[in-house]
Amino acid sequence: MISIKNLSKLFQLKQQQIQAVDDVSLDINKGEIFGVIGYSGAGKSTFVRLINRLEEPTDGDVSIHNEDITKMSNHQLRKKRQKIGMIFQHFNLLWSRTVYENIAFPLEIAGVPRTERKVKVLELIELVGLSGRENAYPSQLSGGQKQRVGIARALANDPEVLLCDEATSALDPETTDDILELLVSINKKLGLTIILITHEMHVIQKICNRVAVMENGRVVETGDVLDVFVKPQSETTRRFVQQLNPLEYEKDRLSSFINEDSTSEVIKLHFVGNHAKQALISQVIKQFDIDVNILQGSIAPTQEGAYGTLFVEINGKESVLKEAISFIENAGVEVEVLHDVE
């Protein structure tokens, strides 16, 4: 669907050069929600603006449906942009126009007849949950409602791709979740490919299928969201994952439970996907002559399934502890022994 090859952007500021995007290559599948995450200055917003040439790339290619937009003339690019919707952090609405008029604006530019415009605009207003607010002005809307207008406007020309540049960063957590649910609904109903730029791991976790992590203009890690969360490879990714699952990095705090008594072990259990739904601890207690003390744990959902971490202390004979750990591993749960069984 979208093929990005060796994409770069170099800004020349007086006597200083800034490499905002550095040799990025990605393939994004049709109909998926693809997240790009990075801290401030990572180059992610510049990257997304290169996809529709709001910024001109210094080098590299961007192809959408096998059409290289970096080679298009201005006339060809204007037509192609009608199929690339974009929503922004600060909404970018026309403040002198009503909700209806804001959504109708791209259709006016495209030369769509008035009767067809009306039908399309009313469909979109219903789709984004703004029925009854057609005649309101942006100043009369909440932040979430303004973003819903921005989404409807971006969908006006039936785009193939929707680019979201920090679309929820200006919203409170509850409104953010509402907008994310709307994006998932639109993705499913319209089969729309969504590229979502954010610095919030919660956003990636909630709706994305795959993610690319950016640092200093480069992609340092990419993969399925669940895989990246479970086994982050880069330090930047580990910092983001820690925001959602701090227990992953709190092993040192459990040192008070770890002792030299061979009848006691502290283990970390890592549940992924359907394994997170198993009543595994109760099975272990029933099957083995051990005591189990749950120390702490957490679980988080993603689009590809749940993942969770559980720290437990197990007490019993050395041979029985080994059998219990083997049983847990055979159930498909990753086990890390924080105090090795002798």
Please give the structure tokens belonging to residue 184. Answer: 């998932």
pLDDT of residue 229: 82
pLDDT over 80 (residue 300):
no
Out of 197, 216, 244, pick the residue that ends a domain.
244
The answer on 284 and 180 residing in a single domain is no
- Lowest mean pLDDT across 18-22, 83-87, 161-165, 236-240: 236-240
- Of 186, 188, 228, the C-alpha closest to 35 is 228
Q: Is residue 342 part of a domain?
A: no
Rounded Cα gap, residues 60 and 58, in angstroms: 7
Overall domain count for the chain = 2
CATH of the domain at 117: 3.40.50.300
**pLDDT at residue number 341:** 43
Same domain, yes or no: 141 and 262? no
Question: Tell me, what's the pLDDT at 247?
Answer: 55
Q: Are 46 and 171 contained in the same domain?
A: yes
Residue 158 lies in a domain: yes
Residue 177 placed within a domain: yes
- Predicted local distance difference test score (pLDDT) of residue 253: 58
Residues 114 and 201 in one domain: yes
Q: For residue 29, is it within any domain?
A: yes
In a domain, 236, yes or no: yes
Q: How many CB atoms sit inside 10 A of residue 91's CB? A: 21
Phi, psi for residue 35 in degrees, rounded to 5? -100, 145
Q: Do 211 and 261 sit in the same domain of this protein? A: no
DSSP 232: -
Query: Looking at the domain assignment, is residue 54 inside a domain?
Result: yes
Tokens linked to 14 = 């007086």
* Residue span of the structural domain in which 79 resides: 2-244
- Both 181 and 270 in a single domain? no
**Judgement on whether residues 131 and 268 belong to the same structural domain of the protein:** no
Nearest CA among 57, 59, 32, 35 for reference residue 46:
57
pLDDT, average across residues 43-61: 94
- 221 with 100, same domain: the answer is yes
Question: Is the pLDDT confidence value at 279 over 80?
Answer: no
Same domain, 240 and 257: no
Which of 39-48, 180-189, 322-331 shows the lowest per-residue confidence on average (mean pLDDT)? 322-331
Examine residue 275 and state whether it is found in any structural domain, yes or no.
yes
Q: Kindly report the CATH number assigned to the domain that includes residue 328.
A: 3.30.70.260
First to last CA, the chain: 53
C-alpha closest to that of 89 among 9, 196, 174, 187: 196
Structure tokens at 140: 């009369």
**What are the pLDDT digits (tens) for 86-116?**
998 888 999 999 999 999 999 999 899 999 9
